[in-house]
Amino acid sequence: MKHVLPLAILVSIFQSCSEAPGNANATTLNETRDPVPSEVKPAAVTKASTAEILAKKQVPVLCYHHIRALRAGESQRLTEYIVPESNFRDQMQSLADSGYQTITPDEYEAYLTTGAPLPAKPVMLTYDDTDAEQYTVALPEMEKHKFKGVYFIMTISIGRPRYMSKEQIKDLADKGHVIASHTWDHHNVKKYAGDDWDIQFKKTKEKLETITGKPVEHFAYPFGLWNSAAIPELQKRGYKTAYQLSDNHRDSLAPLYALRRMIVPGSWSVKTMHRAMKGTFK
């Protein structure tokens, strides 16, 4: 025989359950609770217009290639791309002494598009082509001054003599430096067609992401050369910015994909470097 609970007890049990903690509809006979407010969403960040980006003051972006002495048999023309170790050390020390602080491409992009703050004296240190001394020489010097660098990697060279290994590239990323793309084989972007876009942009990006375990979202054009056809191809493959050289024009429609850098030649004194930094990006 089943036991039937009295009606008054059933009502009491029902009211106890409906008033349990966390029940948003809980009420009593003499109380009506206000509805639980919905979660407050952060305000959307307003992105700057193209005109606003172009009007912003540019940050000096230094571009290094070789950091070593000129080797026997090498052309004097290479001095435009070879900075002696002593010069590089003096340059890093001077930047630190002058109060410069390094920024990343993400920070630069945020400043240009949302007005995010930058240090009072920002500079970006970038390195092209995967040369080994960018790890063995540049890294220790930057670490002395708590600087961060941006390494634009040409993936065909990884692991070859005089170039960085996968392990070194991974170590750079783990230490907070930025690993970015510089194509597979340094082929001129203006000559791309067909599968070139995937070979030079997509596969390089994927390889570097596999090595570092981090997204690769920034790109540097070989020789600083680019054309308007490259920009949508970079965008489709997830790149947020791309860098050219300082003597080229800026793109009026997509300025984030024609950001300017200056090559540091071996002939520059510290004074010349500072003068160039102050004047080039007006």
CATH number of the domain to which 184 belongs: 3.20.20.370
Residue 30 lies in a domain: no
pLDDT in tens, 185-243: 999 999 999 999 999 999 999 999 999 999 999 999 999 999 999 999 999 999 999 99
Residue 49 lies in a domain: no
The number of domains in the chain is: 1
Residue 206 lies in a domain: yes
Q: Is the pLDDT of residue 268 over 80?
A: yes
Residue 212: the pLDDT is: 98
Residue 272 lies in a domain: yes
Provide the domain limits for residue 245: 56-279
Residue 48 lies in a domain: no
Dihedral sign, Cα of residue 263, residue 264, residue 268, residue 272 = positive
Residue 188 lies in a domain: yes
Residue 190 lies in a domain: yes
* 83: CB partners within 8 A, 6+ apart: 64, 65, 66, 67, 91, 264, 265, 266, 268
Q: What is the pTM of this model?
A: 0.83
Please report which confidence band the pLDDT of residue 19 belongs to, taking 50, 70 and 90 as the band edges.
Answer: very low
Residue 99 lies in a domain: yes
- Residue 160's region, left for phi above 0, alpha for psi from -120 to 50, else beta, is beta
Q: Can you give the length of the chain in residues?
A: 282
Could you list the beta-strand ranges (E) of 33-159. Answer: 61-64, 66-67, 82-83, 101-102, 122-128, 149-153
pLDDT in tens, 55-66: 999 999 999 999
